[in-house]
Chains A and B, each alone.
Chain A
C-alpha cells in the first residue's frame, strides 16, 4: 500500500461515515455539521488529486457560504428540537431498499465494465489556477457569462421571495 492509498482510504472513510450520519441523525443542526465534515473530506480528495484551487474554492463556497446559509435558516426557524414526527417503518424500509438497489446496480455496472487503466498523471498541473483560468475564459466564456446571469436572477428571486408581502 502506498501513502496516497492510505490517505485516500482515510478520507473516504470519513466522508462516507459522516454522510451516513447526516442522513441518520435526527437533529438538523448535527446534520449540517456532519455535511461540513463530508465537504472537508471531499476537499482533501481534491488536494490529493492536485486540484488545489478547486479545493480552496470548494471550502469557500460550500463550507463558508452554503452551509452557513443552511445553519442560519435552521437557527432562525429554531428547528433544533427533534420535531421530525415518527415515520412509519414501511417507507423507511422502502427508502433503504431503493437506495441499496441503486448502489448495487451502479456498482455492478462499473464492476462489469471493461476499465482500461487510464494513464495516470498525464499532466499534473491542470489543477493550477492559470491553466483553469485560461480554459474558463477561452473555451467556456459563454457558459461563464450565462452562469453570471443565472446568479443574478437567483439573487433577485431570493430577495423577492423572502420579502414580506406587499399589501
Chain B
C-alpha cells in the first residue's frame, strides 16, 4: 500500500514537473519558431542558443511589481489566474504516458489514474476552465478585460459543443470512454485518424479555440482589446495566465495524440515488441509519445504564425454554422457505416 502511494506521488510530481517544464520551454520554442518563420534569429543571448531565456523570463515575472487595482475584488482577482492554472494542470491526470513498468512482481502503469470515464473527466475540467478567465476579467473592473472575458466564455461554450459531438463519433467506433483503452485499441491497428478524419479535424479546430490560441485568440487580441482579459494583470499573476495557456497547449496536444494518432504506441509496434524487454519498450513508448506531443505543440505554433486572426462574427459562424452541423453529419456517417459494415 505504501509503495502504491509512493509510486502515485512520484508519478504526480513527474507529470507536474514535465507539464511546467514543457510549458516553460514552449515559450522559448514559440519565439524560436516565430523567428524562424519571419527570417529572424530569435532569443540567443541568455546561454547557448538562448536556452536560458525561459529562466530569465520567469525571473523577470517574479521581480516585477505586483499591481492590484484598488476598485477590484481582491480575492476574485487572485482567484482568476489560480483557477486557470489549476484547471490546466488537472487534465494531465488521465492521460496515459506509456505502457507498464514492471519492477520485481509489481506492475506500475505510466498513468496517474485510469478512470472509465476519462474523456468525460477531461470535458468537465475543460468546461470549468472558462471560469479562470471570466472571474479574472470581471474582477479587473476594466472594460477591455470584461470584453475579453465575455468573448472567451461565449467562444469556449460554443466550441465545446462541436468538440463533444466530434468525440461522440469517436466513442461510437471505440466503444469506451477510457483513454487507456482507446490507446490500447490502436496498437498494431490503424490509428483512429483513419476512421475519423473529419472528427479529428473538428476536434483539432476546437482544441485551438478552447486553448485561446491563434487564429482564435480573440479573448486576448492586442489589436482590439489591449491585452484582453489579462490587461490589468502584472508580475506572476500574468505569468500564471500565460503559463496556463502553454500547459493547455501541451495537454490538448497530448489528448489529440492519444485519441486520434495512436497515443504512446510505437509505429509497427507489433513487429518490434517481441524482441524488446517490457520496461525498455515502455520507455521507448514514452519517448515516442513525447515526440508526438512536441510535434503537436510545434503544429500549434506553426498555425499561430501562419494564419491571421478571425473576426469575432466569423468565429461564431464557424462554430455554430459549420463545425456543429459537420460534427452531426460525422456522427450520422459513422453510424451508417458501422451499421453497413456490421460492427454494431
Contacts and interface: CB of A to CB of B under 8 A. Distances in A.
Whether A and B touch directly in their complex, counting CB atoms under 8 A apart, is answered as yes
Interface of A: 29, 33, 36, 52-53, 56-57, 59-60, 63-65, 68-69, 71-72, 75-76, 80, 128-129
Contacts of A65: 127, 157, 160
B146 A75 contact: yes
Contacts of B116: 52, 128-129
Nearest to B135: A33
Given A63-B128, A71-B134, A57 B120 contact: yes
A53 B120 contact: yes
Contacts of A128: 116
A52 B153 CA distance: 26
Contacts of A64: 123-124, 126-128, 130, 160
Contacts, number: 62
Interface of B: 76, 115-117, 120-121, 123-124, 126-128, 130-131, 134-135, 138, 146, 149-150, 153-154, 156-157, 160, 177
B117 A53 contact: yes
Contacts of B121: 56
Contacts of B127: 59-60, 63-65, 68
A72 B76 CA distance: 16
Given A63-B128, A64-B128, A71 B153 contact: yes
Main secondary structure, interface of A, reads: helix
Nearest to A53: B117
Given A56-B117, A60-B127, A68-B157, 19 more contacts: A29-B138, A33-B135, A56-B121, A56-B123, A57-B120, A60-B120, A60-B123, A60-B124, A63-B124, A64-B123, A64-B124, A65-B127, A65-B157, A68-B134, A71-B138, A72-B150, A75-B150, A76-B150, A129-B116
B297 to A, nearest CB: 26
11 contacts: A53-B120, A63-B124, A68-B127, A68-B130, A68-B131, A68-B156, A68-B157, A71-B131, A71-B153, A72-B134, A75-B149
A114 B319 CA distance: 55
Contact of B117 (A52, A63, A69): A52
Contacts of A59: 124, 127-128
A132 B116 CA distance: 14
Contacts of B160: 64-65
B234 to A, nearest CB: 22
